[in-house]
Structure 1
Amino acid sequence: MIVIKKLGLQRGQKVLLQDASVTVFPGQRIGLIGHNGCGKSSLFSLLRGELHPDQGDVSIPAGWVVAHVAQDTPALDCSALDYALDGDRELRQVEAELAAAESRHDGEGIGHCHDLLRAIDGYTAKARASALLHGLGFTDAQLDAPVKSFSGGWRMRLNLAQALMCRSDLLLLDEPTNHLDLETVIWLENWLQRYPGTLLLISHDRDVLDNVVQGILHLDQQQLMLYSGNYAAFERQRSERLAQQQALYEQQQRQVAHLQSYIDRFRAKATKARQAQSRIKALERMEQVAAVHVESPFQFEFLEPVSQPQQLLKLEQVDAGYGDKTILRKVDLQVLDGMRIGLIGVNGAGKSTLVKLLAGVMPPLAGQRLEGKGLQIGYFAQQQLEQLDPDASPLLHLQRLDPQGREQEFRNFLGGFMFHGDMATGPVRPFSGGEKTRLALALLIWQRPNLLLLDEPTNHLDLEMRDALTLALQAYQGALIVVSHDRYLLKTTTDQFWLVGHGRVQHYEGDLDDYRDFLQQQQPQVVNDSAVDATPSVDRKAQKRAEAEQRQALAKLRKPLENKLARLEPELAAQQAELAQVEARLNDSSLYEAEQKAALQQCLQTQVKLKASLAELEERWLSLQMELEAINESVL
């Protein structure tokens, strides 16, 4: 077991841990959390023997093999497969001994080495390494490619493969999902759930923590506290403690009241019902656990867009790609005000290409990209961080965007992103990846876009900032399209998915749980698993045919209801606009003068009729929605 007693750890003048104690038992899978800079990575360095405690004791069983993901990957000529195999140090040692025994014709030594290879499953090592690399997104052709030919993100995957290949007793993973797409994150979760050793995992992805770990080790205020259960259990336990503090509780209630007011205003309005539903989900969760995050220093919201045209963007028969390589073909889609879309699809399918195309930073190879009048795009991608001026301050970045703005207003706004004092006025150059991401998001929000295009916005963000961003996106009034491996963000801020794959973009009927199940059906079995897919190919074809027939049946039942909704929604919008005009007229004090008596009566009668008509229309809209949901449940 790992035993930490009265541990003190200091880096420079900063005290990270003081009189901290905890015990981790063999085979436990523990998530290590805490705000950025609190000492999580330093604790890992301590466990690897790279740092020494300033006081107290840290003990790990002497025979344990400790694996971790290297931060650097040299530009090697060896293949990706050989690099992954290097993670099994005992295998490489036995192979070297076998080669030496063979060179000296030592029969006894050769036999001994073969016994060792059998004992450590050495004969299946290449198959296991291939399975790992495939799971991490590498193709067959890439297995033999030299390490030096891969980009930085793919080299990090190679380092992860090497760590997973090691037959370790203790596995230390520090943000392993940062460079992975959603599909690979799901694969990694499944792998970690089967890992037989002791796992310590630093992650800002709540779904990974919920699905993998059995305990949460919270590093807070220089102390270590171990909570049983996954991240959701940690939130509940910690919220019970924090809710006892009156000031925090009152702040939570203000957030609840803000969401509830939106729900009360819009849940019965057809044009806002989907957005109201996302607030209802947020409220259900907030009432249980918001106290965990009211300590968060991040407080911001998206400013209301200057204009909100109904049609924002349209693609007609668009091809997109790079040079001679076409990635997307014949794409037809439109983006309307209020849409909240998550893009899903395997790595390399074209999600980022689609976002660039929508953002206008990549021209179509064929077809048309049509912008609606008044379109204002807010585009975030990792390359936006590189476009920050390293010698300019956050304050200067905002002043360049809005030369007429007031400095105090800028400072107040930046404070919500934790840019105070010298951080607001100092250069960006020394900022961490998380700080640069926060600044890029702040600059985007200040511009008041009516269409947000976000490509992996949570990379480098800690849990508190991710939660603040999620809450802000839930209240955002424009259209949203997001690519993210953070499933919690996708679940709580989007209400439909577009599947990108095989050169196409199409609406995906299911939710993220359905998509996870679909991906797991597509993934090959891990070599160590005894289960083998023995289903004949003819059965799989029959299954696919049945699924296609099921989808057709669903579409046939849905179509008339969807047509009715399509006709109903413009009528609803028109009557809502007319009612707004009438009520604006009724708010005019001049209407209540004596000579306006007839006009006042006419307005009041019109208001009554419109309200009754709207109530009937909204009742029909809700009834149609319920019929659609009933069809989905009965067919699926």
Structure 2
Amino acid sequence: AILWLEDWLKGYPGTLLLISHDRDFLDSVVDHVIHLEQRKLTLYRGGYSAFERTRAERLAQQQQAFEKQQAQRAHMESYIRRFKAQATKARQAQSRIKALERLEELAPAHVDSPFDFRFREADKVSSPLLDLAEGRLGYGEKVVLDKVKLQLVPGARIGLLGPNGAGKSTLIKTLSAELAPLSGRLQRGENLAVGYFAQHQLDSLDPKASPLLHLQRIAPAEREQTLRDFLGGFDFRGARCDEPVLNFSGGEKARLALALIAWGKPNLLLLDEPTNHLDLEMRLALTLALQDFEGAVLVVSHDRHLLKSTTNEFLLVADGQVQSFDGDLEDYARWLVDYRARQQPVASSEPAADKTDKRAQRQAAAALRQQLAPHKRQADKLEKDLATVHEKLAELETNLGDSALYEVARKDELRQLLAKQAELKVREGELEEAWLEALEILESLQAQLEASA
């Protein structure tokens, strides 16, 4: 649904003003960002990533932010090195390394984030943590997934993909022991400690209890100040730590649920849509915490940035099966287009079979043409924008070729031109990448259209 809306908005001819916590969605559909901070509005050109880069540059000039920036950068560099050493699937590995390197560049834009937490390290670990063989999963007489084979070991980073209703939540509920398998073997490690997050858990919080009391109930022997410090990383500070959950927003309840999981020292995280109520700052903090986490992670999320930054393997849940998906999220978007085309209903009347088949083919072709149109407009727009950037770069390079520009008296002018050149080169890279991606999707859809003709 997000991908469909994204394509529709790209082709929308009017003015668009939106609020979203999905950074990939913002990058795809907006060309300006208005930032609300300290009762002021600041307008930034470009998408969300461009906003982060520009804001990071501003914050980098503030001395009090310098040390935290360096710590974040060191953390990201260490994580990227560790992941590169472990990378096995080339396509997924390259996609994720690009996402991590971008995150490394953008992290300084969030030095003033109120969130800073880690999942506490488990005392003991088993390997495997969990082993499911020949699993038949479902509810009562209804089988949702069959012949499921899945083994989770420490360090696994798995994202679940698949259409809504295909069984992703059913799988996670079974692994979390909330739902018993209908048949098959499910073996849990001796030292398995599961941290399970699902939307319905927000409703299970005690509305009369405060965040501090929730944590005291699971850690009665711990010093109160230690618990308050821990909750502070989730932005529960001062009086907010002692207020009842009753009037908390969905985002605050989600943060509290994650805090309780993080305190519990899990070695397996099962996360079913953990970012639904979270803002961008908390999503980034969760991403960094998951990257530091030493245990296994199995996650379902509509947040593509979270998936790209924290997983290195995808499982596809569809048609009653769970299978490895050898591709990245762009490949999955193309798979979805093909999957929807295959879901076109086929009439059962034999005399009219040929006529019905042709009608279905025409409908599928029309649907593909409809999907093709916004991609064509987007590719054309990106190509036009890229040509404009190339013209500006050429003009700048001509100006920079003037030897008189390098005289001391004109150092400010030189600095401005070099800064503009750097900005345009960044924009050039973004446009080229987006244009190539748009062309890939366009070519894939065109091939499907020709095949259905």
Task: Give TM-score, length-normalised by structure 1.
Answer: 0.52
Q: Distance in 1 between matches of 2:204 and 2:340?
A: 38
Q: How does 1:593-604 map to 2 (within 5 A)?
A: none
Matched, 1:224 2:41: yes
Q: CA deviation at 1:228?
A: 1.6
Q: Which has the larger radius of gyration?
A: 1
Q: Is the 8 A contact 1:259 1:279 kept in 2?
A: no
Q: Distance in 2 between matches of 1:409 and 1:274?
A: 43
Matched, 1:453 2:270: yes
Q: CA deviation at 1:505?
A: 0.4
Q: Helix, strand or coil: the match of 1:216?
A: strand
Question: What is residue 67 of structure 1 aligned with on the other side?
Answer: none
Q: Partner amino acid for 1:313? A: L
Question: What is residue 433 of structure 1 aligned with on the other side?
Answer: 250
Q: Is the 8 A contact 2:100 2:309 kept in 1?
A: no
Question: What is residue 443 of structure 1 aligned with on the other side?
Answer: 260
Give me the identity figure in percent: 60
Among 306, 311, 316, the residue aligned to 1:494: 311
Q: Partner amino acid for 1:446? A: W
Among 22, 25, 32, the residue aligned to 1:205: 22
Q: Helix, strand or coil: the match of 1:347?
A: coil
Q: Is the 8 A contact 2:69 2:108 kept in 1?
A: yes
Among 341, 349, 370, the residue aligned to 2:158: 341
Q: Distance in 1 between matches of 2:113 and 2:12?
A: 33
Question: What is residue 212 of structure 2 aligned with on the other side?
Answer: 395
For residues 158-195 of structure 1, give each alpha carbon's deviation from its aligned partner in whole angstroms, at most 9, with x where no partner exists.
xxxxxxxxxxxxxxxxxxxxxxxxxx111111111111
Change (3 A) 1:498 1:518: same
Q: Partner amino acid for 1:290? A: A
Question: What is residue 362 of structure 1 aligned with on the other side?
Answer: 179
Q: CA deviation at 1:249?
A: 2.5
Q: CA deviation at 1:270?
A: 8.5
Q: How does 1:513-592 map to 2 (within 5 A)?
A: 513-523=330-340, 533=365
Q: Is the 8 A contact 1:243 1:249 kept in 2?
A: yes
Higher helix share: 2
Task: Give TM-score, length-normalised by structure 2.
Answer: 0.72
Q: How does 1:266-415 map to 2 (within 5 A)?
A: 268=85, 284-415=101-232
Q: Helix, strand or coil: the match of 1:200?
A: coil
Q: Distance in 1 between matches of 2:271 and 2:99?
A: 20
Matched, 1:465 2:313: no
Structure 1: runs of 5 or more not aligned: 1-183, 525-529, 536-636
Q: CA deviation at 1:449?
A: 0.4
Q: Distance in 2 between matches of 1:484 and 1:270?
A: 22
Q: Distance in 2 between matches of 1:225 and 1:258?
A: 29
Structure 2: runs of 5 or more not aligned: 342-361, 368-453
Q: Partner amino acid for 1:512? A: L
Question: What is residue 381 of structure 2 aligned with on the other side?
Answer: none
Q: Helix, strand or coil: the match of 2:149?
A: strand
Q: Partner amino acid for 1:533? A: A
Among 51, 55, 58, the residue aligned to 1:234: 51
Q: Distance in 2 between matches of 1:429 and 1:247?
A: 37
For residues 342-373 of structure 1, give each alpha carbon's deviation from its aligned partner in whole angstroms, at most 9, with x where no partner exists.
00000000000000011010001111211011
Q: CA deviation at 1:241?
A: 1.4
Change (3 A) 1:277 1:405: farther
Q: Helix, strand or coil: the match of 1:491?
A: helix
Q: CA deviation at 1:308?
A: 2.0
Question: What is residue 234 of structure 2 aligned with on the other side?
Answer: 417
Q: Distance in 2 between matches of 1:186 and 1:391?
A: 39
Q: Partner amino acid for 1:419? A: F
Among 494, 498, 507, the residue aligned to 2:324: 507
Q: Helix, strand or coil: the match of 2:163?
A: coil
Q: CA deviation at 1:242?
A: 1.4
Change (3 A) 1:250 1:351: same
Q: CA deviation at 1:198?
A: 1.3
Q: How does 1:74-85 map to 2 (within 5 A)?
A: none
Q: Distance in 2 between matches of 1:410 and 1:193?
A: 46
Aligned residues, how many? 347
Instruction: Answer 1 or 2: higher relative contact order, Cα 8 Å, separation at least 6.
Output: 2
Question: What is residue 475 of structure 1 aligned with on the other side?
Answer: 292
Change (3 A) 1:399 1:212: same
Q: Is the 8 A contact 2:207 2:246 kept in 1?
A: yes
